Amino acid sequence: MNERNDLVQSDSGEMTSASLQPMSFVDILDGMFMLYRQHFRLFFAIVAVYIVIGLALDLISVSAATSMAPVTSIVITVFVGIGSFIVSFLVVAGLAYASALVYLDRDITFQNALQQAWRRFFSLLGSAILWGLVVVGLCVTIIGIPFGIYFSVRWGLYTLPVLFEETTARNALRRSTELVKGTWWRVFGIMLAVSVIAFMISFILEVSLGFILTLIGVAEIEGATPWDTIRRLFIPMPHEVGWFPYAIRRLVSVAIAGLAMPIGVIGSALLYFDLRIRKEAFDIEMQATE
């Protein structure tokens, strides 16, 4: 597989395998923040793409909605939405690829990470569509919600097989099933904890900076109702606060979302390798290859 070329070989021909060992729940959480801290510049460079393009697309969409004809506004909003999805998708994939390589002590640049994400884009998109059709379809009814949750976890690691093992979209879901089989509850708990941590960090920063911007007058809410006050802290409109304060507020929101993005992605990468080490002796395989 190409995984061996990407992950095993290096310029020095050496492999640092000290970190290749089964990880407990706490180890994964600690490793998640440790890798983020140690390689912050790499992750930030990848996330910067999301911040810059995401903010530009957001301003274009809002400007079209407030100053153009309804039909034109809808068309632009649709294209902006598609562009935002593609950018977010590629950035998350780039973060996942970078997370795996830094975990294995490999050198990688943000350009390499994004190039790999783009090269595997359509296979990754295919896996995401299959995952979404099943999970969302099952969650439409109350009876199907438990099954939707089950498959969301069972297939939740499809990203990494597509990027590193370079498997097809359907095989990526099968690969995730193989890794999760027999450990569903453990994987569910770790995924849930990582998601909650990432959400809480983003939420706390968003609320805190929202109040700070309000205090310094960037998001003025004088005379607003309690509901408007809460809404303007998260979703202000240009005609309510002015374009410059709005742009500052959106920049802060997009930056917070971007900076919180690597947390969950790194956690998923560590979980992926933990399962491979436990089920496939990936650490021994790497040592033998070395």
Q: How many CB atoms lie within 10 A of CB 86?
A: 14
What digits encode the pLDDT tens for the residues 39-94?
999 999 999 999 999 889 888 888 887 777 778 888 888 898 899 999 999 999 99
Q: What is the pLDDT of residue 155?
A: 94
What digits encode the pLDDT tens for the residues 157-168?
999 999 999 999
* Residue 193 predicted with pLDDT over 70: yes
Q: How many CB atoms lie within 10 A of CB 22?
A: 11
**Mean pLDDT across the stretch 101-108?**
90
Distances (CA, A) of 37 to 31, 34, 112, 252: 10, 5, 20, 21
* Residue 18 predicted with pLDDT over 50: no
Q: Which amino acid is at 214?
A: T
Return the higher-pLDDT residue of 253 and 129: 129
Q: How confident is the model at residue 4 (pLDDT cuts 50, 70, 90)?
A: very low
Q: How many CB atoms lie within 10 A of CB 95?
A: 28
Any idea which residue has 């310094």 for tokens? 216
Any idea which residue has 């498997």 for tokens? 167
Alpha-carbon distance 118 to 100, whole Å? 17
The stretches of 216-281 forming alpha helices (DSSP H) are 226-234, 238-241, 243-280
**Mean pLDDT across the stretch 177-194?**
94
Q: Which residues lie closer than 8 Å to 268 by C-beta, 6 or more apart?
A: 96, 99, 156, 157, 159, 160, 191, 194
103 touches 19 (CB < 8 A): yes
Q: How confident is the model at residue 290 (pLDDT cuts 50, 70, 90)?
A: low
What digits encode the pLDDT tens for the residues 132-166?
999 999 988 889 999 999 999 999 999 999 999 99
Q: What is the pLDDT of residue 215?
A: 63
Closest CA to 46 of 101, 81, 88: 88
Q: Can you say how many angstroms the Cα of residue 226 is from the centroid of all Cα atoms in its chain?
A: 32
Where in the chain are the domains? 21-289
What's the chain's length in residues? Answer: 290
**Mean pLDDT across the stretch 28-43?**
94
What digits encode the pLDDT tens for the residues 207-245?
787 677 666 654 445 555 566 666 666 666 666 666 777
Q: What is the pLDDT of residue 234?
A: 60
Alpha-carbon distance 98 to 81, whole Å? 26
Q: How many CB atoms lie within 10 A of CB 117?
A: 23
